Amino acid sequence: MAMADPLRATMTDGLGRRISYLRISVTDRCDLRCRYCMAERMQFLPKNQVLTLEEIALLADLFIARGIDKIRLTGGEPLVRRDIGDLVRRIGRHLGQGLRELTLTTNGTRLTDHAEMLAEAGVRRINVSLDSLNADRFAHVTRGGKLDQVLAGLDAARAAGLAVKINMVALKGVNEDEILPMLRWCDTQGFDLTLIETMPLGETGEDRTDHYLPLTLVADRIDAQHALTPVADRTGGPARYHAVDGLNIRLGLIMPLTRNFCADCNRVRMTCEGKIFMCLGHEDHVDFKAALRNDGIQAVQPLIDRALRLKPAAHDFRIGTGERAATHRHMSVTGG
């Protein structure tokens, strides 16, 4: 699809923010049940409500033509989607031709089977969610996950030449004692680390207030052991990065509750149903699926413009006793 400059210039929201980053959830399904993300018993979407891989690819083509230059594939767990390699390769053909980067967030359980495919398709770096290096604690947080499976996946990613960033949700009373050890372990492995505050999305059966750990406090604890120096590096997302004294690692901090990052938001999210959510913390969305299936890809063009106009100034995340989740949908539905 031609990369027409007039179209590319239109990917600006109603507040003047340039939108260049699309996160695509390819499935709401996952082989883990992380306590901060999902309920233990989930009701997943029936197959006919989920976009086909061809439909996802067509929408990705259109967004790239409109000026999106970074796409992240997410889930659920994207690597549980059957024939996911076909989609990765299809989108990867745009690299160097409008698309600057194609990347993926995964829980790592399927990387032993897919790491080489990702690298061959043009993926150069991935984010892997990992909240504990203790096998029993990992099983608790994920409701049954096997740590060895993820570690094997990380070895496969390294062998395939993929750069890895570990994503760790900081949970008070659960894994806060592992944050410094995780930082040092990542240094030995050649991985970067990003810490994330828990976000009030969906009802998970857990009280997030009990486990909310402000990253301002965490940063102070790290700084007491390894001085942190802010760096200008950006990877397109909300993380703010720091050099860590004594370690050859970049530490990212994503702080939706203690330091709002919405002013320079450059992202929209598409669910596996074809719904565009302009903000992770709002329910407002624009549905592409019916237009695509009834009238074809050309009918989606004005819906992109509508989504851009509707993008809010900021999320409305709040956490505390008695506070309800910001949205009814789980993190796994929108794609982290």
Where is the binding site for [4Fe-4S] cluster, in residues?
30, 34, 37, 262, 265, 279
In a 13 Å sphere around the CA of 32, the CA atoms on its Cβ side amount to 29
Q: Which helix (H) or strand (E) holds 112?
A: helix 111-120
State whether residue 19 is helix, strand or coil: coil
Q: Which helix (H) or strand (E) holds 208?
A: helix 208-211
Which residues define the annotated binding site for S-adenosyl-L-methionine? 36, 76, 129, 199
Which residues define the annotated binding site for GTP? 23, 72, 105, 165, 267-269
Q: 247 burial class (0-12, 13-18, 19+ CB within 10 angstroms)?
A: middle
Q: Name the residue among 101, 110, 99 with its Cα closest to residue 75.
A: 110
With beta carbons less than 8 A apart as the criterion, state whether 179 and 222 touch.
yes
Which residues define the annotated binding site? 23, 30, 34, 36-37, 72, 76, 105, 129, 165, 199, 262, 265, 267-269, 279
**DSSP per position, 227-268:** -EEE-----SSS-EEEEETTSS-EEEEE-TTTS--GGG--EE
Q: How far is CA 98 from the centre of its chain?
A: 21
